[in-house]
Amino acid sequence: MSAPAAGPRPPALVLRDVVKEYEGVPPLRVLHGIDLTIAPGELLAVLGPSGSGKSTLLALIGTLDRPTSGSINLEGHDLARLSDKQVAALRARRIGFVFQQFFLLPGLTTVENVATGLLYTGETARTRRERAVSALKDVGLGHRLDHHPDQLSGGEKQRVAMARAVIGDPGLLLADEPTGALDTVSGAGVIDVLRGLNARGTTVIVITHDRDVAASFPRRIGIHDGRIAFDERDAGAGAPLESGIGGVRGVDTRSRPARRLA
């Protein structure tokens, strides 16, 4: 897998006419031609009714599945040109995931759970542990290092899952309803952590049902019946249209344009 050509930083993601059908008779078309460009360092919310295709979209972006047709380019890599093995390597290095369910391993401590995020990197056990401790401190859990998941609150478990997701320093963090199983206060804490990661440069995409959370994000994408229903950007948010590569196509052009950063 060759590195993208030198030059301006490529977009974090470019989706062109992405269609996804699930097998069946007849096939179930869940995404109907999604066009989307996301710049490095964006923080965006994905909104939409249940069943509209949000998780399917995130799974495609996260390389967990492949589109039926259309193209996905991740940080300059055209995924269709990569083998499954190459895609898996790219995913391991560049993408972190957080889900509504925390998927922590019950027999492991907090540190051990987070260190699993580095299992396939070739780091020594000692380095993995040190980095796990540091990642846990970053999410405010430095005092819970040796707890087991059943000794943690829901909000704490999600922080562990976030530390595990970002310990390898991925460029892209994908979160599918990360506050869906949490009370309001814990949920707000989780969103704060996501914001902090974004502030350090990580591109963050969050599926959320929480309209207040979404409203507080600089960019919001609405999915309806497998299509982009809206794509709104706050003035001054990000610089995705400055790259000269794309921007958003096929969406509501009445949404506010991106403005050049001061």
Q: What does the binding site for Mg ion look like in residue numbers (CB under 5 A)?
A: 55
Asked if 48 is part of the footprint of ligand ADP (rule: CB under 6 A), the reply reads yes
Which listed residue (37, 56, 73, 208) binds ligand ADP by CB under 6 A? 56
Q: Of the listed pieces 50-58, 99-107, 124-132, 190-198, which binds ligand ADP according to CB under 6 A?
A: 50-58
Give the C-alpha separation, 252 to 222, whole Å. Answer: 11
Give the C-alpha separation, 160 to 165, whole Å. Answer: 9
DSSP E strands in 121-201: the ranges are 172-176
Q: Of the listed pieces 34-42, 54-62, 185-193, 194-202, which binds ligand ADP according to CB under 6 A?
A: 54-62
Asked if 208 is part of the footprint of ligand ADP (rule: CB under 6 A), the reply reads no
Asked if 224 is part of the footprint of ligand ADP (rule: CB under 6 A), the reply reads no
Asked if 28 is part of the footprint of ligand ADP (rule: CB under 6 A), the reply reads yes
Shortest gap between Cβ of 219 and ligand ADP (angstroms)?
A: 18
Which listed residue (10, 40, 41, 53) binds ligand ADP by CB under 6 A? 53
Give the C-alpha separation, 176 to 101, whole Å. Answer: 9
Give the C-alpha separation, 113 to 90, whole Å. Answer: 21
Shortest gap between Cβ of 217 and Mg ion (angstroms)?
A: 18
Shortest gap between Cβ of 63 and ligand ADP (angstroms)?
A: 16
Cis preceding-peptide flag for 26 (omega within 30 of 0): yes
Task: Give the nearer residue to Mg ion in terms of CB position, either 55 or 179.
Answer: 55
Is 61 in contact with 170 (CB distance < 8 Å)?
no
Which listed residue (30, 79, 167, 206) binds ligand ADP by CB under 6 A? 30
Buried b (16+ CB within 10 A) or exposed e, 88-122: eebbbebbbbbbbebebeeeebbbbbbbebbeeee
Asked if 22 is part of the footprint of ligand ADP (rule: CB under 6 A), the reply reads yes
> What is the identity of the amino acid at 52?
S
Asked if 179 is part of the footprint of ligand ADP (rule: CB under 6 A), the reply reads no
Buried b (16+ CB within 10 A) or exposed e, 150-188: eebeebbbbbbbbbbbbbbebbbbbbbbbbebbeeebbe
Which listed residue (37, 39, 45, 55) binds ligand ADP by CB under 6 A? 55
Q: How many residues bind ligand ADP (CB under 6 A)?
A: 11
Give the alpha-carbon dihedral of 62, 66, 68, 71, to 10 degrees: 70
Residues that bind ligand ADP (CB under 6 A): 22, 28, 30, 48, 50-56
